[in-house]
Amino acid sequence: MHERERHRLIVRAVQEKPVVTVAEFVELTGASEATVRRDINALDGEDKLRRVYGGAEALHPPAFVGIAGRTFQVNQPVNIERKRAIADRAAALCADGESIIIDGGTTTFQMVHRLTSHRLQLLTNSFPVAEYMLHHSKSTVILTGGVIYREQEIILSPFSSDMQRSFCAQRMFFGAQGLGPLGVMGPDALVIQGQRALIDQAEELVLLVDSSKFRLRSSLIICPLDRVDIIITDDGIDTAARNLIERTGIQLIVAQTSERSDEAARSRAQAGPPGTDDERKRSAAGDRTADGAEFLDHGETAGDEAAGQGRNRRPRAANEPEPARGRPRTRRLLSTGGSGGA
């Protein structure tokens, strides 16, 4: 991530909670701890935030602090390629005429771009999801009742509406802050209460989490792990996380990301095509000269070659006799590229 983009995310993050720690900045930006500390020092010098022990705070913190967790706008660009790949696989599970629930979140939001051609019965608590589907699809869009939280762009209420209680969905798509043996974890009690109300209305639960979420934890649990039917993640998932899912009997769908494809392509490019090293060695040995000098290739005996000795090439002077022909073989090569060519 470019320095300017990191600074923008850091400044925005400190506007949303009293103090943001270095560890939270590392997770947000994907940069190292040393880089984050340098960014904090630079922004402190520019009077854009105040450096504190272990993190940073806003110069003028907001009077009202909303629900816990990063805002929708801050979280949206984080691991965006992984989120898109996961959303592709999630959208492929949907068919025309189905009733589905899409819970608010930046990963689930990426599904809407793939669902515009579908005709669905959609219940959501996400304002961005509802707005996009309203303008770009023929689906029926139903919003849960409650208060709109601007920063997270979701609608929450401690009470479920009659419409929500009467809605029956084939499946619900939702995200999480973390994932572990104890269950699916979330950042805020009010958010979790809203998610649990939606979970009760779905026959099948589909969890959308990028591979980094298997290393994160929270003190609040949305639901037990065995309540989830399908987990969709990216190809960065490690063996321990795979084993955890297999032991629970949950169906695992792994989305291939362009990030890892790009890494593989770079590795192949650095390795070079087959034979490249040999060609460079032959070139360095000086098979030809610019003026077309004649070279002798003095071969070795079979025993020498077995011992791994390389060839010894040198230019033959004009008055030097040809070497005796015997077991060591001699091959005469004439350069055709220079002025001395035959």
Do residue 56 and residue 81 come from a single domain? no
Q: Show which of 23, 45, 65 is a domain's final residue.
A: 65
**In terms of domains, do 102 and 233 share one?**
yes
What CATH number is associated with residue 257? Answer: 3.40.50.10470
Same domain for 139 and 17: no
Q: What angle do CA 208, 212, 218 make, to 5 degrees?
A: 85
Number of domains composing the chain: 3
**pLDDT value at residue 193:** 84
Q: Which domain does 24 fall in, by range?
A: 3-65
Tell whether 145 and 43 lie within a shared domain. Answer: no
**For residue 321, pLDDT beyond 90:** no
Same domain, 139 and 248: yes
Of 6-20, 63-77, 152-166, 234-248, least confident by mean pLDDT is: 63-77
pLDDT > 70: percent of the chain = 69
For the stretch 188-200, what's the b/e string if a residue is b when 16 or more beta carbons lie within 10 angstroms of its beta carbon?
bebbbbbbebbbe
Residues 228 and 299 in one domain: no
If pLDDT is split at 50, 70 and 90, which confidence band does 8 have?
A: confident
- For 55-109, the pLDDT digits (tens) are 998 887 655 455 556 667 777 788 899 999 999 999 999 999 999 999 999 999 9
| pLDDT of residue 145 exceeding 60 | yes
What is the structure's pLDDT at 270? 58
pTM assigned to the model: 0.60
pLDDT score, position 341: 43
- Say yes or no: 140 and 218 in one domain: yes
Written as one string, the DSSP assignment of 124-191 is ESBHHHHHHHHHH---EEEEPPSEEETTTTEEE-SS--HHHHH--EEEEEE--SEEETTEEEES-HHH
76-85, 239-248, 303-312: range with lowest mean pLDDT: 303-312
Say what the pLDDT of residue 151 is: 72
What value does the mean pLDDT take over residues 301-306?
43
- One domain for residues 202 and 320: no
- 186-213 pLDDT, tens digit per residue, is 888 878 888 998 999 999 999 999 999 9
